[in-house]
Amino acid sequence: MVKYNLENKVVIITGASAGLGEQFAHAFAESGAHVVLAARRKELLEKVASDISQQYNATTLVVQTDVGKEKDIVDLVKQTVKKFGTVDILVNNAGMYIVKPLIEQTLEDWNTVMNVNLTSAFLATREVAKVMIPKKSGVIINISSTFGFRGTKFPEVSYYTSKGGLVIMTKALAVELGEHNIRVNAIAPGFFPTPMSKGAFDDEKIRTTMIEPRTALPMFAENEWIRGAACFLASEDARYITGHTLAVDGGYLAF
């Protein structure tokens, strides 16, 4: 990965205990940022923090956070400001899905997915905006999905809706916060072999009927390949990019 200059920037990453969140932690630490790691599983957060501290000499803060709870998100930002004095970058990465046909989805299922995937991003953005607006600078990166643009045979209506909501929320907040020099963009990953989606690769039917036919490039993704997109959007190289969703999908949405 090209090393972007994010020296001493303070970044909060939700859902940082595993998967793409762990990749973002490595990316920002390698680029010189101070990394705040937030998720529910504290022991996994501490392992990620230890890894990036050793590999990149990064300064870290672990905050056990249930993004489904408003008070946890408020506390996350407060602890970050207490330790580092500011917030420069927010990566709204926390996500989950529930696979059920529509007629079996309960209101609780729907609300759970919406709270984790969409409402948490709204709340975290609201809280960091209170820090970013006075200093007239900041970067917010929402992690959406290619499924925010299209449906599939997977019965995950709440997941698709929440990820589509992140796309339009990105645009709305880019317009609202632009006058304060705060950039808001999104990344839409395709199929990456994270713990959350590894089952899709292991399922031959899904792999051969849904993933392979819509992957334009002659290889599947490696988890590390998401790193550059996040650091680019956070860097000065992207200083005039806002309201955009960058697909990192091997051409999945090109079909």
> Is residue 36 one of the residues assigned to a domain?
yes
Q: pLDDT digits over 199-231, tens only?
A: 888 888 888 988 999 999 999 999 999 999 999
Whether 4 is in a domain gets the answer: no
Q: Which domain holds residue 91?
A: 10-254
So which residues are the catalytic ones?
159
Q: How confident is the model at residue 242 (pLDDT cuts 50, 70, 90)?
A: very high
What does the pLDDT average to over 237-247? 98
Checking if the pLDDT of 2 tops 70, the result is no
The percent of residues in the chain predicted with pLDDT above 70, rounded, is: 99
The mean predicted confidence, pLDDT, of the chain is: 96
User: What CATH number should be reported for the domain holding residue 27?
Assistant: 3.40.50.720
pLDDT of 198 > 80? The answer is no
Which stretch of 39-43, 190-194, 196-200 has the lowest confidence by average pLDDT? 196-200
Q: How far apart are CA 5 and CA 156, in angstroms?
A: 38
Instruction: Determine, yes or no, domain membership for 26.
Output: yes
Question: How many structural domains is the chain composed of?
Answer: 1
Counting residues of the chain whose pLDDT is more than 90, the rounded percentage is: 90
In a domain, residue 171? The reply is yes
* pLDDT tens digits along 85-141: 999 999 999 999 999 999 999 999 999 999 999 999 999 999 999 999 999 999 999
* 5 domain residue, yes or no: no
